[in-house]
């Protein structure tokens, strides 16, 4: 029997800029994208251009370390045209990032060794230091879908409030 290759699941298993997940919630019209950024997964929630929230750069909502990106969709980018996007990433202090996997082939061994040592200290911290989380694609998708569901509920509550009073 031929050996099966392991499924792609960590950020280093994907090409930078690759669209990994695209889902539109049928109830709210909110759209979730997950891409592979430079050294981490990135997630985005979008609304169509005619949505009340479209264009609100300072709109924030609970997501992993908070919204740190906004843009209108543009052709030739990860963000489809006709949508406004809010994004966040999974590359923060206690998120694992596989710098070694993305180094150019001609990177000196001394730098590779330094990164290996730094990585081992982050992955096995001492007492009282939080353990680094190595996000998988599935975990990022589930986290993003949770954000979409919370936003959907907030939008529904807001609509109910505005029509009742």
73-84 pLDDT tens trace:
999 999 999 999
| Tens of pLDDT, residues 29-40 | 999 999 999 889
Q: What are phi and psi of 159, to 5 degrees?
A: -65, -40
Which residue shows structure tokens 């290996």? Answer: 116
Residue 114 placed within a domain = no
Helix (H, G, I), strand (E, B) or coil at 51: coil
The token pair at 162 is 């505005």
Residue 103 placed within a domain = no
Q: CA 44 to CA 19: how far, in whole Å?
A: 11
Residue 100 placed within a domain = no
Q: Domain range holding 38?
A: 11-94+129-164
Number of domains in the chain: 1
Residue 116 placed within a domain = no
Residue 2 placed within a domain = no
Residue 113 placed within a domain = no
Residue 99 placed within a domain = no
Q: CA 49 to CA 81: how far, in whole Å?
A: 9
Q: Most distant CA pair in the chain: distance in Å?
A: 67
Per-residue pLDDT of the chain (165 residues; tens, 9 = 90+): 444 455 789 898 899 999 999 999 999 999 999 999 988 999 999 999 999 999 999 999 999 999 999 999 999 999 999 999 999 999 987 887 766 776 788 989 998 888 777 766 665 666 766 678 889 999 999 999 999 999 999 999 988 766 655
DSSP H helical ranges for 30-136: 109-123
Instruction: Please report the pLDDT score of residue 116 as a whole number.
Output: 78
Instruction: Report the predicted TM-score, pTM, of the whole model to 2 decimal places.
Output: 0.81
Query: Percent of the chain, pLDDT > 70?
Result: 85
Cβ–Cβ under 8 Å, residues 29 and 51:
yes
Residue 123 placed within a domain = no
């Amino acid at each position: 029997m031929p050996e099966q290759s392991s499924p792609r699941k960590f950020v280093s298993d994907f090409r930078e800029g690759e669209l990994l997940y695209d889902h539109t919630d049928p109830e709210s019209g909110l759209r979730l994208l997950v891409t592979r950024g430079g050294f981490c997964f990135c997630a985005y929630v979008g609304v169509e251009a005619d949505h009340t929230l479209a264009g609100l750069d300072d709109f924030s909502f609970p997501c992993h370390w908070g919204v740190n990106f906004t843009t209108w969709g543009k052709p030739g980018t990860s963000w489809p045209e006709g949508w406004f996007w809010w994004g966040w990433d999974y590359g923060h202090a206690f998120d694992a990032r596989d710098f070694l996997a993305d180094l150019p082939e001609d990177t000196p061994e001394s730098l590779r060794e330094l990164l290996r040592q730094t990585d081992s200290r982050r992955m096995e911290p001492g007492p009282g230091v939080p353990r680094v989380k190595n996000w998988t694609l599935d975990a990022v998708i589930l986290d993003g879908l949770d954000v979409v569901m919370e936003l959907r509920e907030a939008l529904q509550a807001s609509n109910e409030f505005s029509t009742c009073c």
